[in-house]
Amino acid sequence: MAYCLADLERGARSIESRVTPSAGPWLAPAHYPESMRIDAILEAGEEPVFSFEFFPPKTPEGEAKLYRALEALRPLGPDFVSVTWGAGGSTREKTIEIVTNLRERHGLEAMAHFTCVGATVEDLHASLRHIERAGIENVLVLRGDPPQGVERFERAEGGLGYASDLAQLVTAARYPFCVVGACYPEPHQEAASAEANLEHMAAKVRAGVSVLITQLFFDNADYFRFVEQARVAGIDVPIIPGIMPITSVASIKRMTAMCGARIPPGLLVDLERRAEEPEAVLELGVAYATLQCAELLAGGAPGIHFYTINQSPATRAILSALRLHRPWDRARLAGAGSVG
């Protein structure tokens, strides 16, 4: 992929500002890193790209928790952070507000997730204009999950049915965003087949998606096979693995049931054995995710997107260990190229 020189120069400046220690947990306004497209960060970076995903809280207590987690994770210098668009489009104002706040007050490159749920094309344009006015440069385009209690996604009247349609809308109207998309190493629950899963991902890329982030998964073989199949299918954009550190048995069972990800049987047995010991579950979750990320990075993955669920300890421990261990250096020494 080609990027203009200005993007690369901005990339270098932005990366410099990320590794310069700041006086406190937040950057002073004069030191905000310049806004940066995620595809340019990936293109410019020598190091893997690390990102943290948050969701918009519904209560003031939840919001305080989000900012505490952010404060704990901020010193790790993420390349970008992202904020979800609530199921059913329930958080549109809040998502944009938090992304703006993270960029302007906390000096972080931040991406807004954005879905088609419950919106007409006119509504979608209104939100996109709002996102553009806020100076946000990165948008994760999604079909979206239905609102709570609704089983299946229904296209809104006058709305769009697929993420590729949304990518097409953004590209055709020339919004100045880096368009990111979701993808599924274990095929999406509604995909008719693994081939259809790949074909729909290819359609997103044809419609303008320049970076993909995967759904959470626990078996790296699924990711490596999927990336290989994507390359054979001509999909050449970076595919960043999305990793959710397990912090509680009940919550990971709920999440995997919702998104269709498989917990390998051996891991499930070990988790269930510890079900009455929350700390032991957290320890296993951190150990498992650390090994998983190390193997992905040693195998050429371009970075890791952490699903933090607004918690910091697991992500902080894993990323700190990875930064010390640097499995990506071993991959380079062994001559392994980038796969993702």
Ligand X SMILES: Cc1cc2nc3c(=O)[nH]c(=O)nc-3n(C[C@H](O)[C@H](O)[C@H](O)COP(=O)(O)OP(=O)(O)OC[C@H]3O[C@@H](n4cnc5c(N)ncnc54)[C@H](O)[C@@H]3O)c2cc1C
- Interface positions with ligand X (CB under 6 A): 84-85, 87, 113, 115, 140, 142-145, 162-164, 182, 188, 190-191, 196-197, 200, 213, 215, 242
Q: Which of 16, 34, 53, 132 is catalytic?
A: 53
Residues 184, 155 contacting (CB under 8 angstroms): no
Burial 88-125 (b: 16+ CB within 10 A, else e): bbebbebbbebbbbbbeebbbbbbbbbbbbbbeeebbe
What distance in Å separates the CA atoms of residue 66 and residue 69, rounded to the nearest whole number?
5
Provide the phi-psi class of 218: left if phi over 0, else alpha when psi is between -120 and 50, else beta.
alpha
10 vs 200 by CB, closer to ligand X = 200
279 a catalytic residue: no
55 vs 67 by CB, closer to ligand X = 55
Residues 215, 247 contacting (CB under 8 angstroms): no
What is the nearest approach in angstroms of ligand X to the Cβ of residue 333?
A: 31
Q: For residue 128, how far is the Cα from the chain centroid?
A: 19
What is the nearest approach in angstroms of ligand X to the Cβ of residue 141?
A: 7
Smallest Cα–Cα separation from 140: which of 65, 54, 223?
54
164 vs 310 by CB, closer to ligand X = 164
What is the nearest approach in angstroms of ligand X to the Cβ of residue 330?
A: 27
103 vs 113 by CB, closer to ligand X = 113
Kindly report each contact of residues 328-337 with a partner whose C-beta sits within 8 Å and lies 24 or more positions away, as own/partner: 328/47, 328/48, 328/297, 328/298, 330/298, 331/297, 331/298, 331/299, 331/300, 336/298, 336/299, 336/300, 337/300
Q: For residue 88, give the H/E element and its range.
A: none
What is the nearest approach in angstroms of ligand X to the Cβ of residue 31?
A: 29
84 vs 311 by CB, closer to ligand X = 84
Q: For residue 331, how far is the Cα from the chain centroid?
A: 23
Residues near 300 by beta carbon (within 8 Å), at least 6 away in sequence: 331, 336, 337, 338, 339, 340
62 vs 278 by CB, closer to ligand X = 62
What is the nearest approach in angstroms of ligand X to the Cβ of residue 216?
A: 8
What is the nearest approach in angstroms of ligand X to the Cβ of residue 113?
A: 3
> What are the catalytic residues?
53
